[in-house]
Amino acid sequence: MSIILKYIIVFILFTSYMYSKEIRIGMSADFSGQISYLGNNMKIGIQSYLNKINKTSEYKYKLISYDDRYNPLQASLNVRKLIEKDKVIALLGNLGTPTANVVLPILNEHKILLFGAYSGGNVLREINENNYVFNYRASYSQEAYNIVLNLIKQGLKPKEIAIFTQNDTYGDSGYSGVIKAYRELGITDLNKIAHARYTKDTLNIESGLSKLLDYDVDFKAIVMVSVNKPFVKFINFAKEDFPNVKFFALSPLNSASLIKNKIKFSKDIFITQVVPMLDNNLPIIKEYKKDLKESFPDIEANLISFEGYVVGKLFVESLKDLSKDKLNSKNILDELYKFNKIDIGLGFTSAFSSRSHQYTNKVWLTTIDGEKLKEIKWSEIFKK
Amino acid sequence: MIKLFQKLTKKLSIKSIVILGVIIMALIITAFGVTMIYLSSTIKYDQSTLKNILKLEKQNQNILNTIKDIAYLENRILTSNSTKDLLGFEKQLLGEQDIKFSIDSKQKVIYEHNYSSKLTSVVTNLNKRIISQNEIYDSKAIILFYELELSSYKSKIDELILLITNESESIYGLASLITKRYNRALKRSKAKVDPSLNIQLGKVMTLSKDLDSSILKLPTFIHNINSSKSIDLINTISKNNLSQLILLVEDSLVKLSLLQDLNTNFKTNTSNINSKFLEVKDLITFLIISKKQLLKEEKKLKKLIFKSDNLNDKVFDGIRQLTEISSDIKLNILSHSDSISKRTTTTIVIVGLISLVLIALAATTLISRINLPLEFIMKFIDKIVNSQKSLSSKLPILSNDEFGKLSQSFNNMTSTISSNIGEIKHLNKEIEDTQKEVIFTMGAIGETRSKETGNHVKRVAEYSRILALKYGLSQDISNLLKEASPMHDIGKVGIPDAVLKKPATLDSQEWEIMKTHAELGYDMLKHSNRDILKAAAIVAHEHHEKWDGSGYPRGLKADHIHIYGRITAVADVFDALGSDRCYKKAWPLEEIKNFFIENRAKHFDPKLVDIFLENIDEFLYVRDKYKDVFD
């Protein structure tokens, strides 16, 4: 009897010791659905970094992840479970805007942090409403904004640029960036912006394209806020009407799939990225490749897991000065507001602030070069 | 009362009184035992009844619990939303065979019939309730099945509508794009003019728009049907609105199919729409049928719920009545046990009192009948012992019982003893007299051998007695000595006459022979066991011994001489000196006195001499009384 009791006591002490040294982080994403490649890669990236930290740190970061299959209801259930049952101190690298819409009220209710979500949705960047969201990456809106401003910089006239968006929040986020850019250029009449939509989950781009024809302009650039399949169909159709047009897409586009399917007109396709290309000579890229190989030797490096790695590192680094036994959502928030600019190896320094919950607005422009993406300068696009 | 009892039992013997007492006590104990056994048997009966009541109450509670369980389960069944949930409850459903409630047939409650018929009705209702529960389950399962079907139809229809609208959007978009491109080319004068194509494309666009708007109205109607609670309303919607809408869509589709040759995509789209719309139509038909069935089943379920509520009420009511009956029984048992305990106490008190009275009666009677006569007899015996009453006196006979008989026997015994004692006394006297006579005669014989007279013996006897008494010897010993002393000279019988009767003075040899008479007398008498003869032997042997040891035959001194001898010596010498003889005259008294004074402590015991001298008158009186008369 007494032996059993002793074992129980030892077990309790042991587990409480383990718990006290464990920092629990939650993640809800699509790990088995249509965009599971995003979820799985994000997780791989985050885990790679945490594994490295856990090797030397007294406090062990534990990533608890649940599959939501990109289903908002499941995502809300997962997040509740993570917060209430698993007692995570923060959520890392959640996936998608529709899921974020239902998760955010829960986070506000429990005052739990959502850090580095893989989404450029505007809803994640409404600081006043969602005070517990911190992002690494530029928003879709900023990507689109960046594209428009850079195109103008390269000598294009505003009316030579068309916008083609998916009829949902993703498309609207991009469109809002474009509007912002045009406003800065002094164009306030939205009717002057050539804009068309296509229905989400369909390939019905004809109607939208026919609307663009109404502007009776030979567009030089079309900013595409869309997903792969309609993107491909649209390019094929639009090249009939606008043979010289160039297409500018945002980071969610699955460039690997485009390359794999040997897309036509690849020279005229440009995609912005929120992380630098992996052939860059940046410290964090070396670090990422090394740690990935160590934790997941069979998995090839890609931009998505790299973003996960960046998010993981940014989270840990931001809280480096915070005593680990004081880790709670309030202390984390205070720590993130300290305006300490840090360089996580991306070649620049930045910081969070109460006015900006986003580490960087920076985007990298890429194009398809044969079998892979390569970084390209804006000035090189229209040189030919 | 005691006296009355004694009067009543006066004529009975003690034995019969005791037997009577034992019989009465046995009767009382038996009556008491029978009463107690009866009372305890009723208590036992009460106990078993109570046990059964408790069992029945527990059973009632079980029935209530079962009803509650059923109600709880049923509630969960009714609120379950999915077949999966519902299936989970299937195992918990009770079957009729799960219910085993009954009355113990051995139980013979007064209320048995009433109770058992009520319980039977309760159990019947409970069984019905169980059946209704199963029916509700089945009904709910059917409803869930239809709901599942309805929602799958609905989602399929929604899906198909989305696909159809996508197709029609595609038609519209393509028609629009072709038109726009044609117009653009026209503007840039790169193509030939074909106005009819534009008109036809415009028609396509309109048709696809119409189709779109018609088909988008479908979900509203389907929703209306789905949320409707009346079959009539469903019929109205399906007959009027829905069929019109379907006609509109079909009309658009027919017209579109006329134009589908404009573009290969149109053809694909239109045929897609056609086939999908056919599916939609079928699904709508199924949906309506399912919905109607669902409504029917819901109605049925309502009835079932109403029925089961009714059954619940019945069971509850039945249980309430059963509880009332059992509480009545319990109350009865309570009051019964109360009365039993009172009766028990009373019985014990009464029996105790009666027993006490009877025991007191028996005790007093026995005391009066045993102790009093016994004491009387004992006192009487004491009186006889103390010679307050003569042995021949009679014990009065007080009662007719054992003591009467005892008294009678006692009287017989005393009278016998008394008469026997008289006889013995007579015989004894005769023996004594004979003895005395013999001894006296023997003494006289001795005297006859000497010169002494016959009265000498009598006088010596008397003197000896007086001396012995005065010396302090007892009456008996004194009398004994009186009887024995006459024989002091019996030994002279053995002295030859030549010596004995020699008139002259004896020479020394003859004197020695004479002296042997003491020894001779002793030898003659010493073998006797008789007290008188023993005493006579001592007297014969020692009556010639002298105080100073100068006597014969043994020359004993003072106390060594037996008191008999010493006394007889005084008596013998006094008579020899004091009495007349044929051959001499009696000494004068003064000489006799002097002689004895001179021989005090020489010849005679000084104490005896003192006694003699002090009481000389008595001796003289005796000498005169037995004076020899010489003719």
Structure tokens, A55:
């090797």
Which of B170, B184, B187 faces A206 most closely, judged by CB atoms?
A: B170
The sign of the torsion formed by the CA atoms of B122, B124, B127, B128 equals negative
Spatial CA neighbour of B606 closest among B549, B547, B537: B547
- Whether residues A207 and B172 touch (CB distance < 8 A) is answered with yes
Structure tokens, A32:
């088995």
Rounded Cα gap, residues B593 and B577, in angstroms: 10
Contacts of A236 in chain B (CB under 8 A): none
Spatial CA neighbour of A98 closest among A33, A174, A29: A29
Least-confidence region, from B69-78, B344-353, B574-583, B598-607: B574-583
Least-confidence region, from A265-279, A313-327, B495-509: B495-509
Answer yes or no: do A70 and A161 share one domain: no
Label residue B184 exposed, middle or buried (CB < 10 Å: 0-12, 13-18, 19+).
middle
Angle, vertex CA A159, rays to CA A156 and CA A163, nearest 5: 95
Answer yes or no: do A156 and A226 share one domain: yes
Whether A307 is in a domain gets the answer yes
Mean pLDDT on A67-82 = 91
DSSP sequence for B22-88: HHHHHHHHHHHHHHHHHHHHHHHHHHHHHHHHHHHHHHHHHHHHHHHHHHHHHHHHHH--SHHHHHH
Q: Check if B185 contacts A (Cβ < 8 Å).
A: no
Confidence of residue B453 (pLDDT cuts 50, 70, 90): low
Please compute, for residue B511, the number of CA atoms within 13 A of its CA located in the half-sphere on the CB side.
6
Rounded Cα gap, residues B183 and B202, in angstroms: 13
Mean pLDDT of chain B: 83
Spatial CA neighbour of B130 closest among B172, B54, B73: B73
- Give residue-wise pLDDT tens across range B66-106: 888 888 888 888 888 888 888 888 887 877 767 666 555 55
Structure tokens, B126:
């409970």
Helical residues (DSSP H) of B386-474, grouped into ranges: 402-449, 454-471
Whether A347 is in a domain gets the answer no
Whether A34 is in a domain gets the answer yes
Q: Check if B202 contacts A (Cβ < 8 Å).
A: no
Residues A291 and A52: beta-carbon distance below 8 Å: yes
Residues A162 and A151: beta-carbon distance below 8 Å: no
Cross-strand partners of B581? B584
Share of chain A above pLDDT 70, in %: 94
Confidence check: pLDDT of A154 > 80 = yes
Which comes out higher in pLDDT, residue B626 or A202?
A: A202
Rounded Cα gap, residues A112 and B155, in angstroms: 36
Q: Return the pLDDT at B191.
A: 62
Least-confidence region, from A133-142, B46-55, B470-479: B46-55
Spatial CA neighbour of B396 closest among B372, B362, B417, B419: B372
Confidence of residue B631 (pLDDT cuts 50, 70, 90): very low
Q: Is B584 helix (H, G, I), strand (E, B) or coil?
A: strand
Contacts of A199 in chain B (CB under 8 A): 166, 169
Cross-strand partners of A373? A368
Alpha-carbon distances of B447 from B423, B457, B499, B576, rounded to whole Å: 35, 7, 15, 12
CA distance B211 to chain A (A): 16
* Exposure letters A199-216 (e unless 16+ CB within 10 A, then b): beebebbbbbbbbbbeee
Confidence of residue A66 (pLDDT cuts 50, 70, 90): very high
Strongest mean pLDDT among A34-43, B13-22, B429-438, B546-555? A34-43
Residues B336 and B50: beta-carbon distance below 8 Å: no
Answer yes or no: do A15 and A133 share one domain: yes
Helical residues (DSSP H) of B450-474, grouped into ranges: 454-471
Spatial CA neighbour of B305 closest among B142, B123, B78: B78
- Whether residues A210 and B169 touch (CB distance < 8 A) is answered with no
Mean pLDDT of chain A: 88
Answer yes or no: do A237 and A369 share one domain: yes
Structure tokens, B240:
């009027």
Q: Is B462 helix (H, G, I), strand (E, B) or coil?
A: helix
Answer yes or no: do A232 and A375 share one domain: yes
**Cβ neighbour number for residue B467 with a 10 Å cutoff:** 27
- Give residue-wise pLDDT tens across range B433-447: 777 777 767 766 666
Mean pLDDT on A96-118 = 89
- Whether residues A237 and B177 touch (CB distance < 8 A) is answered with yes
Residues B142 and B297: beta-carbon distance below 8 Å: yes
Answer yes or no: do A234 and A373 share one domain: yes
Rounded Cα gap, residues A353 and B580, in angstroms: 190
This prediction's pTM: 0.59
Least-confidence region, from A42-46, A103-107, B283-287, B501-505: B501-505
Rounded Cα gap, residues B491 and B513, in angstroms: 11
Residue with tokens 């997962």: A78
Q: Return the pLDDT at A212.
A: 92
Answer yes or no: do A131 and A144 share one domain: no
Q: Return the pLDDT at B530.
A: 76
Q: Is B104 helix (H, G, I), strand (E, B) or coil?
A: coil
Whether A173 is in a domain gets the answer yes
Q: Is B529 helix (H, G, I), strand (E, B) or coil?
A: coil
Q: Where are the domains of chain B?
A: 147-324, 439-625
> How do A364-369 and A60-67 pair as beta strands?
unpaired
Kindly indicate whether the ipTM for this predicted assembly is greater than 0.90, answering yes or no: no
- Whether residues A204 and B170 touch (CB distance < 8 A) is answered with yes
Q: Return the pLDDT at A310.
A: 94
Strongest mean pLDDT among A282-291, B5-14, B239-248, B343-352? A282-291
CA distance B169 to chain A (A): 7
Structure tokens, A49:
């970094």
Domain that holds residue A373: 140-273+364-380
- Whether residues A210 and B180 touch (CB distance < 8 A) is answered with yes
Q: How many CB pairs under 8 A join A and B?
A: 42
Q: Is B106 helix (H, G, I), strand (E, B) or coil?
A: coil
Confidence check: pLDDT of B265 > 50 = yes
Which of B173, B184, B187 faces A206 most closely, judged by CB atoms?
A: B173
Rounded Cα gap, residues B306 and B79, in angstroms: 16
Rounded Cα gap, residues B244 and B261, in angstroms: 27
Mean pLDDT on B281-292 = 90
Residues A62 and A327: beta-carbon distance below 8 Å: no
Interface of A with B (CB under 8 A): 199, 202-211, 213-214, 216, 237, 240-241
Confidence check: pLDDT of A31 > 80 = yes
Answer yes or no: do A98 and A17 share one domain: yes
Q: Return the pLDDT at A136.
A: 92
Rounded Cα gap, residues A13 and A8, in angstroms: 9
Answer yes or no: do A207 and A308 share one domain: no
Answer yes or no: do A289 and A232 share one domain: no
Residue with tokens 């010639």: B544
Q: Residue A299 region, left (φ>0) first, then alpha (ψ -120 to 50), else beta?
A: beta
Mutate one of A203, A205, A207 to test the B interface: name it (highest B CB count within 10 A).
Answer: A207
Q: Check if B184 contacts A (Cβ < 8 Å).
A: yes
Whether A180 is in a domain gets the answer yes
Q: Check if B176 contacts A (Cβ < 8 Å).
A: yes
Contacts of B174 in chain A (CB under 8 A): 206
Residues B144 and B85: beta-carbon distance below 8 Å: no
Angle, vertex CA A230, rays to CA A227 and CA A235, nearest 5: 110
Answer yes or no: do A187 and A153 share one domain: yes
Domain range B439-625, CATH architecture: Orthogonal Bundle (1.10)
Mean pLDDT on A149-155 = 92
- Give residue-wise pLDDT tens across range B143-192: 988 988 898 999 999 999 989 998 889 889 998 988 888 888 877 776 66
Q: Residue A69 region, left (φ>0) first, then alpha (ψ -120 to 50), else beta?
A: left
Rounded Cα gap, residues B391 and B337, in angstroms: 71
Q: What is the 3-class SS of chain A, one letter each residue?
A: CHHHHHHHHHHHHHHHHHHHCEEEEEEEECCCCCCHHHHHHHHHHHHHHHHHHHHHCCCEEEEEEEECCCCHHHHHHHHHHHHHHCCCCEEECCECHHHHHHHHHHHHHHCCEEECCECCCHHHHCCCCCCCEEECCCCHHHHHHHHHHHHHHCCCCHHHEEEEEECCHHHHHHHHHHHHHHHHCCCCCHHHCEEEEECCCCCCCHHHHHHHHHCCCCCCEEEEECCHHHHHHHHHHHHHHCCCCEEEECCCCCHHHHHHCCCCCHHHEEEEECCCCCCCCCHHHHHHHHHHHHHCCCCCCCHHHHHHHHHHHHHHHHCCCCCHHHCCHHHHHHHHCCCCCECCCCCCCECCCCCCCECCCCCEEEEEECCEEEECCHHHCCCC
- Whether residues A207 and B179 touch (CB distance < 8 A) is answered with no
Structure tokens, A184:
């800065």
Chain B CA closest to residue A240: B181
Q: Check if B177 contacts A (Cβ < 8 Å).
A: yes
Spatial CA neighbour of B326 closest among B120, B113, B54, B121: B54
Give the CATH number of the domain where residue A228 resides: 3.40.50.2300
Confidence of residue A78 (pLDDT cuts 50, 70, 90): very high
Label residue A278 exposed, middle or buried (CB < 10 Å: 0-12, 13-18, 19+).
middle
Give residue B326's Cα distance to chain centre.
34
Whether A348 is in a domain gets the answer no
Answer yes or no: do A214 and A292 share one domain: no
Mean pLDDT on A60-75 = 91
Confidence of residue B297 (pLDDT cuts 50, 70, 90): very high
Contacts of B176 in chain A (CB under 8 A): 206-207, 210-211
Confidence check: pLDDT of A290 > 90 = yes
Residue with tokens 């027919």: B254
Residue with tokens 């009065």: B396
Split into its structural domains, chain A has a count of 2
- Whether residues A241 and B184 touch (CB distance < 8 A) is answered with yes
- Give residue-wise pLDDT tens across range A335-362: 888 867 888 888 888 888 888 888 888 8
**Cβ neighbour number for residue B348 with a 10 Å cutoff:** 13
Which comes out higher in pLDDT, residue A187 or A47?
A: A47
Structure tokens, B623:
């000498």
Whether A357 is in a domain gets the answer no
Confidence of residue B108 (pLDDT cuts 50, 70, 90): low
* DSSP letter, residue B189: T
